[in-house]
Amino acid sequence: MIIETERIILREMTQDDFDALYRVLGDSDIMRHYPYTFDEKRVMNWINRNIERYGIFGFGLWALVLKETGEMAGDCGLTMQNINGTIKPEIGYHLRRDVQHKGLAMEAAMACRDWTFENTPFNAVYSYMKRDNTPSSKVAMANGMKLVEEFRDDEGEISSAYAITRQEWEKLKK
């Protein structure tokens, strides 16, 4: 499975992506909105869990590869997440620090949104993040999503959930 945009390729992760993904998930600044920074074992488990998701669901977080250099610079994709007590399809991503703030997260998230509505029966897709994660909120809104709820998450912090429905997406595509 490959999704291609102007500047990136989203493809299934492999264990060969370990070093590149560790550079992202092992960076405490990038992961400041996550409950923890990843060590080597957690990164390998992350890769293996996504490989398992591809087999079960046909989707997961995909390797985000820069077309210009061929480098894996993060991940982006669709996973099933517990959002305020309900399992929902969610677009998530993590990008290497040196490629942030260049529109790549938005480009990847939009490609995942389109793929979701073109290839799954889901009638809505979500993104959720800590309330103070302003960059991720901006990506969600640029992806056509609206704030649908805020809730206290498992870490006791306030998280914001954004969503776009299939009907709203269809209007965007016209």
Residue 141 confidence (pLDDT): 96
Structural domain range at position 92: 2-173
Residue 154 confidence (pLDDT): 86
The 3-state DSSP class for residue 131 equals coil
Whether residue 159 is predicted with pLDDT greater than 80 in this model: the reply is: yes
Residue 93 confidence (pLDDT): 94
Residue 1 confidence (pLDDT): 66
Q: Cα torsion for 125, 73, 27, 44, to the nearest 10°? A: 80
The CATH number linked to 164 is: 3.40.630.30
Q: Of 18-22, 38-42, 114-118, which range is least confident? A: 38-42
Which residues have C-beta within 8 Å of that of residue 138, sequence separation ≥ 6?
none
Of 128 and 173, which is predicted with more confidence? Answer: 128
Average of pLDDT values for 82-96? 95
User: 23 phi and psi, to 5 degrees?
Assistant: -60, -30
The structural domain count of the chain equals 1
User: What letter does residue 20 receive in the DSSP assignment?
Assistant: H
The 3-class SS string of 61-96 reads EEEEEECCCCCEEEEEEEEEEEECCEEEEEEEEEEC
The whole-chain average pLDDT of the chain stands at: 93
